[in-house]
Chain A
Amino acid sequence: MHENLTVVGSLLIAGALSLTPASAGTLFISNEKDNTVTVIDSETLKVVKTIPTGLRPRGMVLTPDFKELIVCAGDDNRIDIIDTEKLEVVRSLESGPDPELVDIDPAGDRIYVANEDDGMVTVLQRGDGKILAEIPVGVEPEGMAVSADNTITVATSEQTSMAHIIDNATLKVVANILVDVRPRVARFTRDDKHVWVTAEIGGTVAVIDKATRKVIKKFGFEIPGIRPELIQPMGVQFSKDGKLAFVALSTANRIAVVDTATYEVKNYILVGQRPWHLAIDEAGEKIYTVNGLTNDMTVIDVATQKPEKSITVGRLPWGVVMKP
């Protein structure tokens, strides 16, 4: 009874703020210019802590057990590991030069790092940091995505304009798929059948079929009043049911909402300036985007597709991930 009252109470407060309550969790935002990670409580939307990291923190991934946050510190040529309870860097791993984005296998054992300055993907053992492989790919690797079934990893290289498919058993490149200019982010769909690759300068998204390794669809964006060259697709997140995709459009200052069955753009949500990466909560209710040029994070309600609030973070926020 007492518990129910509390729930009703918090709903009332939330209603008064015209906010629907988010599922409880912690957001981590990497601030490229500040050399910090901002920690935000998703319920209160208050900054809990600012964690100092290595130089130029950008790409981040949570381990599947949620205990550790892996942060690329590009200008220190290393990976910092943040304990998500202690909220501090507890150890660092050698990552190869200039790590930009990372992903981790579903078991939480292997870390895949894009070495932007070096044309390589470095594969590390999470436990002891042992380098298992350095896989040559194209020029300026960035996007990294491990498939849910752990069979392949997709790396994108910006200057080569390709998605490289790495076989996770042999750690060799088994396919190279040409996409539009400057591919930056790769993300698998919720059903693990396709991988979406965004091309920042090409202005398009390529949808690659995991089984056939072919581009099955390529689409772009048109926003009235926005010059086409400002529409630069970057981060991608899928709704919990997999039916919608949210694509950050960087200098267009908007998030596109795309129907994943028809590839039709359903909506453009105005956020802060230069949104790059996105996070979604476990319940699938909120999307979070960090806006590099306005130093803030926008909270978007998935059901209404409306931006609800923005919270100041550090300078040049780059990546965002959410721990449930």
Chain B
Amino acid sequence: MRFATSCCRRVVAVALISILLPVHHLPRAWADASATAVDPSAPPTLKAHFVYLGKKYPEPVPLSLLDKVLTDEGVQGTRVAIKENNMTGRLIGHQHDISEVVLEADADVVAKARELFKNNEKLIIADLEHEDLLAVSDLPEAKDAIILNIRDSDDDLRQEQCRQNVFHLPPSWAMRADALAQYMTWKKWRRWLLVSGQGKKDLQYAAAVRRAAAKFGNKIVDEKTYKFDAGSRRTDSGHQQIQTQMPLLTQTSSEYDVLFVTDAEEAFGDYLLFRTFDPKPVIGTHGLVAVGWHRSFEQYAGTQMQNRFERQAKRAMTERDYYAWLAVRIFGEAVLRTNSADVATLKAFMLSKDFGVAGFKGVGLTFRTWDQQLRQPILLSGPRALVSISPQDGFLHQHNQTDTMGFDKSESKCRLSS
């Protein structure tokens, strides 16, 4: 057993260059960011500026009273991350700043974005819904920007509607459905009853579930649609009606193993647990969920992240908070490693083999070059504890096992134009 290491997968060249260059000749890519300690009181040699761009969209109210109604989702993640970037930055003369631009629900986000781009703000963390995200990224002024989508899971944004200036951090619906499908395959719970809401996101996720069933050889034995509006989550005597409504919704003559619910808009998903006609587990948007972050997660120093966030925000970190945090860390990592705030340099680095950001998932997180979707392990969590992490063992891929989830290169309908 002798294996020579002719090469390593991280940057040997960087190490060599960094030995040669003294620290004060800074603005070159790959210059040495190390050497002696920088006096933290000295003016920074490199400044990087990011913008968090969001809107106060009407959000679906969580059905469970245990979930707080939040008004600061996402932005709290960036606040924690910018501190971390600067804890690192102060040691090497970098200073990172972020502007929080959160517009009213009826405000013109395109006009605001145009103004930002004109002021040369090109590093954007977008907490925007589908249409707004595309409108902003299609501005001529946005052509040379980097827009990190931290909000939308819609598959078409990774497929026909992909954009060369948009990078996607949350898993697509297809990745989430595949993450659950792999675990169901491993469990041999292969017959599914699909119950979906009528919202746009519900239908997108349902389509991804059908795709995942076919992809991994599982079967959707029947489909049901929940046709009522969500309504108020608080009622004085609400449980009786739900108790009779849910068995009616889930009654089927087909034998199934699990109920796969797609209710991204929070109309009924939580009501299914313990109320199905047959005694079956619930997975999807409720029950066992496929997510990028969950309060039940602690591995790979996840505990430290949960603690840091809760100290700052006085509440638990949500998935959107996590992706907002990660967006700032991605920009931070790119600035740190390239020693540059130049947008083209950062973009080239983010898509290079040398890029990898740590996000508490046990592996470096990288971008798929064909659709600029972040590769990542996906957490499978029950309401109160982590159940598993996908990809599951045994699902093989010739290049990267996480590419067994979502749209692989050969299936991609994304054509990125520069």
* A interface list, Cβ under 8 A from B: 98, 116-117, 119, 136, 138-140, 158-162, 164, 173-178, 180-182, 199, 201-204, 206, 213-224, 227-230, 232, 251, 263-268
What's the dominant secondary structure at chain B's contact region? loop
Counting CB contacts under 8 A, is B235 at the interface? Answer: no
A203 touches B8 (CB 8 A): yes
A220 touches B37 (CB 8 A): no
Give Cα distance in the complex from A44 to B11, angstroms.
Answer: 45
A159 touches B91 (CB 8 A): no
B358 touches A181 (CB 8 A): yes
B363 touches A201 (CB 8 A): yes
Give Cα distance in the complex from A264 to B333, angstroms.
Answer: 29
Can you list 8 pairs linking A and B with CB atoms under 8 Å apart? A116-B304, A162-B88, A173-B37, A202-B356, A215-B18, A219-B5, A222-B7, A224-B3
B5 touches A265 (CB 8 A): yes
The contact of B1 among A116, A220, A268, by CB within 8 Å, is A268
User: Measured between C-beta atoms, what is the minimum distance from A154 to chain B in Å?
Assistant: 13
A202 touches B2 (CB 8 A): no
Give Cα distance in the complex from A292 to B19, angstroms.
Answer: 36
Give Cα distance in the complex from A175 to B362, angstroms.
Answer: 28
Contact with A along B384-410 (1 / 0, CB 8 A): 000000000000000011000000000
Give Cα distance in the complex from A24 to B113, angstroms.
Answer: 70
A174 — nearest CB in chain B belongs to which residue? Answer: B37
Which chain A positions have C-beta within 8 A of B15? Answer: 206, 215, 217-218
B15 — nearest CB in chain A belongs to which residue? Answer: A218
User: Which 7 pairs between the two chains have the least Cβ-Cβ distance?
Assistant: A220-B8, A218-B15, A160-B88, A176-B91, A177-B34, A229-B363, A201-B364
Which chain B positions have C-beta within 8 A of A174? Answer: 36-37
Which chain B positions have C-beta within 8 A of A182? Answer: 358
Instruction: Count contacts on B: residues with CB < 8 A to the other chain.
Output: 42
B10 touches A158 (CB 8 A): no
Interface residues of B in 171-191 (CB under 8 A from A): none
Interface residues of B in 288-347 (CB under 8 A from A): 301, 304, 307-308, 329, 333, 336
Given A160-B88, A181-B357, A232-B362, 7 further pairs, Cβ under 8 A: A161-B336, A162-B91, A164-B91, A203-B10, A218-B12, A229-B400, A265-B5
Counting CB contacts under 8 A, is B84 at the interface? Answer: yes
Which chain B positions have C-beta within 8 A of A223? Answer: 3
* B interface list, Cβ under 8 A from A: 1-12, 15, 18-19, 32-38, 84, 87-88, 91-92, 301, 304, 307-308, 329, 333, 336, 356-358, 362-364, 400-401
Give Cα distance in the complex from A159 to B325, angstroms.
Answer: 12
Which chain A positions have C-beta within 8 A of B18? Answer: 178, 215
User: Measured between C-beta atoms, what is the minimum distance from A272 to chain B in Å?
Assistant: 16
Which chain B positions have C-beta within 8 A of A177? Answer: 34-35
User: Most chain-B Cβ atoms within 10 A of its Cβ — which of A180, A224, A264?
Assistant: A180
Give Cα distance in the complex from A75 to B291, angstroms.
Answer: 26
B34 touches A138 (CB 8 A): no
The contact of A227 among B3, B336, B401, by CB within 8 Å, is B401
User: Most chain-A Cβ atoms within 10 A of its Cβ — which of B5, B18, B333?
Assistant: B5
User: Measured between C-beta atoms, what is the minimum distance from A8 to chain B in Å?
Assistant: 34
Given contacts A175-B36, A180-B10, contact A216 B19 (CB under 8 A): yes
Give Cα distance in the complex from A201 to B359, angstroms.
Answer: 10
A204 — nearest CB in chain B belongs to which residue? Answer: B10
B336 touches A176 (CB 8 A): no
Which chain B positions have C-beta within 8 A of A229? Answer: 363-364, 400-401
Give Cα distance in the complex from A306 to B34, angstroms.
Answer: 39
Which chain A positions have C-beta within 8 A of B92? Answer: 176, 178
Which chain A positions have C-beta within 8 A of B84? Answer: 139, 159-160
User: Measured between C-beta atoms, what is the minimum distance from A73 to chain B in Å?
Assistant: 14
Give Cα distance in the complex from A264 to B2, angstroms.
Answer: 10
User: Most chain-A Cβ atoms within 10 A of its Cβ — which of B10, B19, B37, B356?
Assistant: B10
Given contacts A162-B91, A201-B356, A265-B5, contact A117 B307 (CB under 8 A): yes
B32 — nearest CB in chain A belongs to which residue? Answer: A178
Give Cα distance in the complex from A164 to B358, angstroms.
Answer: 19
Given contacts A139-B84, A201-B363, contact A222 B401 (CB under 8 A): no
A158 touches B91 (CB 8 A): no
User: Measured between C-beta atoms, what is the minimum distance from B9 to chain A in Å?
Assistant: 5
Which chain A positions have C-beta within 8 A of B32? Answer: 178
Which chain B positions have C-beta within 8 A of A215? Answer: 15, 18-19, 34
